Each structure stands twice: as structure tokens, then as C-alpha cells.
Structure 1
Amino acid sequence: MGYFDVVVLEPNTGEAAPRVKSNAKGNLQLNADFEGGNLGSVKALSDFEYELSIRGDTGAPKYRLWFHFKVSNCKAGQRVLFSIINFSKQRSLFREGMAPLVSSSSRPKWERIPSKNTFYYRAPRINNAYVLSFVFVFDKEEDVYAFSYSYPFTYTHQQKLLAELEWKKLPHVQRRLLVRSVQQRRVDMLLVTDPTTNGTCRKHCVICCSRIHPGETPASHCMTGYINYITGNSPEMVELRKTTLFVVVPMLNPDGTFLGNYRTCSLGTDLNRMWTHPGEMTEPTLRATKDMMQWYHDLDDVDVDLVFDMHAHSTASTGFLLCNPPLDKSESGYERVSVFPQLLAENARDFSLDACRFCDDPAKLGSGRRALGLVLPKAMIYTLELSFFPTAGDSTAAPTTDEGYERFGEQFGRTIVQYYRMGYEGSDTASSPSSTPYSQASPVKSGLASPVSGAVQSDSRPDRQPVHPSRRASAQYSG
């Protein structure tokens, strides 16, 4: 969390006094000492201008992008100029019209500050570094205002949603404790399938995880929409659950999320570079998740077909997928990997097939997509990147809200239904298509960008003993 709970700004002196209360209206009180909060320092430059610095990630101060702070003790009509001066990334969607978000205690719904009041520019006084400045007018003295880089989504909120889902006692949904984080927070796993068909057929398996980078909050909003869809009662999902197991790990980095970090966990590690050899003590969430995926992969009656890791991208203006190049380098091999991205491009707003690409960049060997490709060689493994400001370069388009990211998650789930109904991975649902439009989908051809250099290698780990299906309720994955 933030380094201070309250800073009172005295405009006449330009000094910041931590943990001092002032009743004089207009002496703004800034607070980042709450879950997901981030602000490092504040300085008053004049009666209306304030210079802010982001707190670097815990143990990794080079990562500075996420901010979330609150302001109180304002005057009605008080105009301020906030300038954030120390972003670690210079390229930014602020150059494309993105603006910070604001909410208040009487208006909790997040809204974007008008783009005309937001400026992203090089500042000679700060070594020509990029600065984000935005003008804001406080209109209610009794309100507490909050400002944020993107739509917040806290660990506590995630736990609340999972508890509400568990309370419904849906027969096709199980919530289990996968592992606890370094700071002993829950890392939950959802299992979604029709239990009446367990043991009667070989089941397909779709695994989806999210929020390995705590500042990438759109991924959690997307995951919420996805969970709502796959646990819902739409006819197509009820049918697909008979032959498919959905496994969801909604928050891989609860510690970093709670602390208000942008990219790292509580130990200062970028977890998405640690998938190759995650430590049981240092990266327990990755270790348990990777072992879980391998466990399902080894079952005799489960086929792990699709694996997705949800992220958000700070410079892309549209959503896209990163794909592992196939082991089969033929045209048909590339087409097989390209099917899902093309279907998603047909179904989802704020997603571009042209932006998707095959990628085996050696610098990303430790990422989930690359490392899991070695232990799950038969699965299609993708990184989903959502844009923080998805306009696809169209300045007239309405930017996506938190509800928009949830709708994307639902569209993502519908695309999985379409994928199986078209018969990919040998799904037996293709032999009895329903009357929905998905059953009428036509074959598609590869349209992804060519892969970069290198090749996907086969798994070099020693063979693991397969686990009998009767052990599916193993204590390792029970709550």
C-alpha cells in the first residue's frame, strides 16, 4: 500500500506534512494507505498545482505505472492541476486520448476525466521525461475523491465475488483453495463442469488464469465476465459443460494486488518470468498452478485443449492474442493455432486479428505461455492482452468501461463454445449442433502474423506418473 496514510498540503507553504490533520478547507488531504493504493510523494508547487510521484513496486522500484489515491478536505469549486512525474514507461496511451479515472463517495461509478483536461508531454524541468498533468475541479466539499490509472479490482473484491458464487451452491461449480501466497492470501481455483457426466466420457479441459500482474486490472474485469458466462444457464453453456471442464484461477498475484504494485509480487519478482522453475517458497502460486495443469494433463480421461493467461497492455490500442508457434510447422499446424483468434475477432469488440501474432521471443521463455507450452505440448496456449484504452486508433470510439471488459469476457466464453461446436479438438458436440448461429460457423484460414525466430522445444522434464481419474478430488486441489 501507499507509504503514507494522509498528507495535508498547505498551498501557501508548499510543504507536505505526513499524518497531520487540518480542518482548513482547501488544504487537500491525500491518502494512499488502502488496499490497492499507490502514491509515493506529493509536493505543492503553488496554490493550485501539485506534483505527484508514483511509489515503485515493492522490492522493484523500476516499475512505476499504476496509481490510485484519494483526496479529501477540498473546497467546492476548487480547481487543481495534478502532475505525475515519474512513470517508468514513456510510451503511453495517454498520448492517444486516455485519461485518468475519477470517482467520489457520492458518485462511486468510475468516469474518465475529459481528455481535453489531460496532457501528456515532455517536461524540460524533469530531464525531458514524460509527465501526465490533468485539471480537475472539486464540486462537493463533503466528498472524498479517488483517482486511478484504470478501473480498480482488489483482492478483497475478488474474494467477495467468489464467496457470492459459492453461496449459490450451483451443482456445476466448485470453489477450492489451490494454495496460499507468500503473505498467506488465498489463491482460489474454480472447477466448472456438469458433475452428472463425470466418468461417462472423456472430458475436454479449458484452463484460464489472470492477474499475474497486479496493475493490469482490466484482466480481472474480463475474467469476471468469463466466470459469469461459464457458470450461467445459457443453453449452449449447459450443453458444453456436459463434455468440458473449465478450470479458473482468477488471481495469481494477490499479494502484489493488495499492495498496489504494478507488475511484481511482494518479493519484488515479476512472476510472469518465473514459470519455468517456480519455487515452492518464493513463487507458490505459480508452482501450484503449474502442478495443477500438469496433473490434469496426466489424467486418462481429460484432454487439456486450451490454456489462456489474461493480461492488459499499456500501449496497444486494441486487444490481441500471443500464440506459441505450433510444433507442427506445416500450414495446417499454423491454421490450427489460428482458429481461436479468428473466431474471437469475429465475436468481440476491441479485439484485432491483425494485432495477433506467433511469438517465441527468447526473452519471454519464463512467461506462462512459453513455459507451459513445454509441459502441455498438446494444448493451445495463448496470452490474451486487453488494451487499457481500446480505441483501435479511432478517437471517436467510446472507450471500454469496466462493464465493457466484462462483456468481452462473456464474448470470450461464447467463442470457446463456438470453437468446440466447430469440432476442434475432436469435440463430440460437433456431431449434434444446436440451432444457435455458432453451429453454422464456416471454417477459417490462418491470418496471424508470422512467428519470430526460434522454435518451440519439447518438454525436457522427466515423465510424471499419471494420476488415476478416481483421485480427481485429491487433497492437493481440495478446499
Structure 2
Amino acid sequence: MKISTQFDAGSVEVINLDRAEDIQLKIRKDSHSDFLQWFYFRLQGAANQPCTMRFLNAGETSYPKGWEGYRAVASYDRQHWFRVPTRFDGKELVIEHTPQAGSIYYAYFEPYSHERHLNLIGLATDNPWCEVEDLGSTVDGRDLEMIVVGDQDPTKRKIWVTARQHPGETMAEWFVEGLLTRLLDEDDATSRSLLAKANFYIVPSMNPDGAVRGNLRTNAAGANLNREWLEPTMARSPEVYLVRQKMHEVGVDLFLDAHGDEALPYVFVAGCEGNPNYDTRLNALENAFKHHLALANPDFQDQFGYERDKPGEANLTLATNYVGQHFNCLAYTLEMPFKDNANLPDEEYGWSGERSQKLGASMLQAFLAVVDQLR
């Protein structure tokens, strides 16, 4: 048997590989950071053998509650991913599965490769409605790109969408792919109506270094980008510095930051109710947005989510809070599950890249419902 991780986002530590019924592994830390949760590896040479894969340090990971009710994903071709039996005893995460082929991949969630990211940028480059703007370089020297959709008429509303500040939250870029694909559909009436009123500024991957390195939450310098928005620097968090700089140049009327949540098995949003500037106008906008998103896609719900910040106690280092406060605009963090959606469970696939795409596409209806009230 052999386990390998030398590919885009690959990550695991092999402790013992002597017997298929007792494969011992550890989840490794992010680059220059103590965060650990993401895994992605290839197992070879175990076809038709009952395999028991034990992650010995699962109870010591950043979000141990994320393993409760969780099932890992697997794929033979890295195109079609399915859930496999997984259990957690409070200390070890155990995957029990019999591969039907000599090569199989296991991951924390359906990966979104850097190659697919580049293909998404290529899709936008080839579309006459789009302009791809290079914002600068990441810590590792990768391109940080923004997709501008629309005619850039300065009188139109400015809608910003960012994803993958936390690189292991791959559902966020699947979400963006679904949103962008529908936005560029010239036969879609919702898209055409939106683009008549708004321009879109989309950063599909805020953290390409962390994505390629197989990190859960940090960039190549060990920075948690979603705690850098108040005082980003080019040395530690150039990704935030460059995007924030462009926001100040362009302006923001609506901001959506796409994420994944390890523990909660729901799709939900977190807003800016703790910001000093939060008022009845913003509250009404938030409620209208949530109402129309729930109508557009029943995967979304508003019963379960994070505890609301108390007035004036928002953490302004978070993207949503910083942008909502500075631009006095509707700003939301969107969270999708690593597990399944408990309201609409899917035994075979759980929450998936495809469902994330469909949520992204339906988001346009919520945008359209509130675009005229944004200012």
C-alpha cells in the first residue's frame, strides 16, 4: 500500500501503513500556524480490502466538534465525490471503507483545485461581459485576480463577492463558480436584469497559496485572512491589503463573503448587527435579503447560525464587519456546511460542490430583490 499527498492541496501525515485494517494517520498543521483540520490524500494498493483509517489527533484539531456527525468524501476519478462511513469517538476520527479500485482519494471536503480556479479565470477572460483584473501577488507570488462583470458604469450599484479567505473551505469557490456561470448566461433574465443595475466585483479565491499548500485557514505566512481586515500588510496579508485597496478605490454597495463552517450542518448567514453604524435601514435590508434567498433556495435557513453580536461589539478585523462599517452597506458572511445540510440531507453525497454551485446560482435572485434598495 501507498499513501501520497504530493499534489495540489494534498495533506496528511502517515504514521503507520503496515496493515489495511489499521492505517494510522495524523492531520498536519497549516503553514506557519497551529490550525489543523484539512486532509486530502491518495491511497493505492488496497483494492477490495476493508480499510480502517485512523486519524490519531482528530480530537486535538482546531474544530473537534466538526467531526461529530461528519462523513469524509472519497473519489476514484477526482470528479465524482461521495461520502464514506466515518465515526468520531472524541479522540480519533475513523474512516471505514473498502475501495473498489487500486487508487482512491479521500478528503475533508470536495477539493477545488488551482487548475480549476485558473479555468474559471479563463472562462471570465473569454467572456465579453467580463474583465479580469490582476490585483497583485500573494505571499508565494501567485496571481491575485478579480473578475469584473458589467459595463463598469460608476452610477450602477457595486456588488462584491469574495471566497476562500479560508482556503480549505472549498465549497466557497464552488459557490462562486455557480454564481458566475449564471451571471454570464445571456439567456437568463435574472442575470440580465441584475447587470442592468449593478456591476460585480468577484474574487473567486482570496487565498490561492493556502489552497495549493493544503491549509485549512491560513495563507503562506500563517495569517488568518479573515482577521486581517482592520490593518492588513503587504508582508503578512497582501491578499487582504490588495482587495481592500481596490474596494476603497471602487466603492461597495453590497458585500458577500463565502465560507464553510466545520460544526454546523446548515446554510446560514452572519451579518453586521454588532457594528457601530448598524441601524434600521441595514436591518431591513438584511431581512429582505434573507427572505428572498430562502424563497430562491430552501437549502438556506435562518433558524440556526452564529450568536448575534451585541450592539457596538463587532470584531472589525473580519471582512464582513469591516466592509459593512466602512461602506455603510449590506454585508454578509455566507456559511455552508462541511457535513450535510440537516434540513435537506443527502445520504450519498451530503453537502457537495454541486449543491454549493446551485446555491451560488440562486443567490442572484436575492441580489435582484434588494438591488434597488442598496442606496
Q: TM-score, normalised by structure 1?
A: 0.72
- The equivalent residue for 1:380 is 330
User: Any conservation in 2 of the 1:64–1:86 contact (CA below 8 Å)?
Assistant: no
How far, CA to CA, are the matches of 1:335 and 1:374 in structure 2?
A: 16
Give 1:285-364 correspondences, 5 Å limit: 285-297=239-251, 304-325=252-273, 331=280, 333-355=282-304, 358-359=308-309, 364=315
Find 2:23's aligned residue among 23, 45, 50.
50
* CA offsets 1:390-417 (integer angstroms, 9 cap, x no match): 3236667772321111000001122112
Paired residue total: 368
How far, CA to CA, are the matches of 1:41 and 1:164 in structure 2?
A: 38
Matched, 1:249 2:203: yes
Deviation at 1:372, TM superposition (A): 2.2
User: In structure 2, do the counterparts of structure 1 residues 349 and 275 end up closer, same or farther at CA, with 3 Å as the change threshold?
Assistant: same
Matched, 1:212 2:165: yes
How far, CA to CA, are the matches of 2:161 and 2:226 in structure 1?
A: 15
Matched, 1:366 2:317: yes
How far, CA to CA, are the matches of 2:320 and 2:296 in structure 1?
A: 23
Deviation at 1:66, TM superposition (A): 0.6
User: Any conservation in 2 of the 1:349–1:408 contact (CA below 8 Å)?
Assistant: no
How far, CA to CA, are the matches of 1:161 and 1:329 in structure 2?
A: 35
Deviation at 1:90, TM superposition (A): 5.1
SS in 2 for 1:48: helix
User: Any conservation in 1 of the 2:206–2:239 contact (CA below 8 Å)?
Assistant: yes
User: Any conservation in 2 of the 1:101–1:149 contact (CA below 8 Å)?
Assistant: yes
* CA offsets 1:164-219 (integer angstroms, 9 cap, x no match): 3323xx32111111111011111111111146xx37xx211100101010110111
Deviation at 1:34, TM superposition (A): 1.0
How far, CA to CA, are the matches of 1:132 and 1:363 in structure 2?
A: 34
- The equivalent residue for 2:40 is 68
User: In structure 2, do the counterparts of structure 1 residues 354 and 257 end up closer, same or farther at CA, with 3 Å as the change threshold?
Assistant: same
Q: Partner letter of residue 245 of structure 2?
A: D
User: In structure 2, do the counterparts of structure 1 residues 358 and 229 end up closer, same or farther at CA, with 3 Å as the change threshold?
Assistant: farther
- The equivalent residue for 1:85 is 56
How far, CA to CA, are the matches of 2:205 and 2:181 in structure 1?
A: 16
- The equivalent residue for 2:92 is 131
How far, CA to CA, are the matches of 2:279 and 2:119 in structure 1?
A: 47
Unaligned runs of 5+ in 1: 1-27, 123-129, 298-303, 427-479
SS in 2 for 1:316: coil
- The equivalent residue for 2:119 is 160
User: In structure 2, do the counterparts of structure 1 residues 47 and 72 end up closer, same or farther at CA, with 3 Å as the change threshold?
Assistant: closer
How far, CA to CA, are the matches of 1:255 and 1:396 in structure 2?
A: 32
Find 1:266's aligned residue among 214, 220, 230.
220
Matched, 1:389 2:339: yes
Deviation at 1:358, TM superposition (A): 4.2
* CA offsets 1:265-299 (integer angstroms, 9 cap, x no match): 111111111111111232111111001111112xx
SS in 2 for 1:171: coil
- The equivalent residue for 1:184 is 141
Deviation at 1:327, TM superposition (A): 5.2
Between the aligned residues of both structures, percent identity stands at 21
Which of the pair has more CA radius of gyration?
A: 1
- The equivalent residue for 2:71 is 99
User: In structure 2, do the counterparts of structure 1 residues 54 and 328 end up closer, same or farther at CA, with 3 Å as the change threshold?
Assistant: closer
User: Any conservation in 1 of the 2:20–2:50 contact (CA below 8 Å)?
Assistant: no
- The equivalent residue for 1:301 is none
Matched, 1:112 2:61: no
Deviation at 1:305, TM superposition (A): 1.5
Q: Kindly report the root-mean-square deviation, in angstroms, between the aligned alpha carbons of the 2 structures.
A: 2.3
* CA offsets 1:347-396 (integer angstroms, 9 cap, x no match): 2232211235643685833111122233212x111111111123236667
Mean alpha-carbon deviation: is it higher for 243-252 or for 395-404?
Answer: 395-404
Unaligned runs of 5+ in 2: none
* CA offsets 1:297-355 (integer angstroms, 9 cap, x no match): 2xxxxxx3201111000011111111112656665552233221222122223221123
How far, CA to CA, are the matches of 1:150 and 1:213 in structure 2?
A: 13
- The equivalent residue for 1:221 is 174
How far, CA to CA, are the matches of 1:374 and 1:332 in structure 2?
A: 13
Q: Partner letter of residue 42 of structure 2?
A: K
User: In structure 2, do the counterparts of structure 1 residues 47 and 211 end up closer, same or farther at CA, with 3 Å as the change threshold?
Assistant: closer
SS in 2 for 1:281: coil
* CA offsets 1:63-114 (integer angstroms, 9 cap, x no match): 111100001123x421210011213145434422x31111114x7411111x
User: Any conservation in 1 of the 2:129–2:151 contact (CA below 8 Å)?
Assistant: yes
Q: Partner letter of residue 268 of structure 2?
A: F
- The equivalent residue for 2:367 is 416
Q: Partner letter of residue 273 of structure 1?
A: R
SS in 1 for 2:289: helix
- The equivalent residue for 1:406 is 357
| Relative contact order, higher structure (CA 8 A, sep 6+) | 2
User: Any conservation in 2 of the 1:45–1:51 contact (CA below 8 Å)?
Assistant: no
Q: Partner letter of residue 373 of structure 1?
A: G
SS in 2 for 1:34: coil
Q: TM-score, normalised by structure 2?
A: 0.91
How far, CA to CA, are the matches of 1:277 and 1:330 in structure 2?
A: 25
How far, CA to CA, are the matches of 1:31 and 1:68 in structure 2?
A: 9
Find 1:175's aligned residue among 126, 132, 141.
132
SS in 1 for 2:68: helix
User: Any conservation in 1 of the 2:2–2:44 contact (CA below 8 Å)?
Assistant: yes
User: In structure 2, do the counterparts of structure 1 residues 414 and 371 end up closer, same or farther at CA, with 3 Å as the change threshold?
Assistant: same
Matched, 1:40 2:1: no
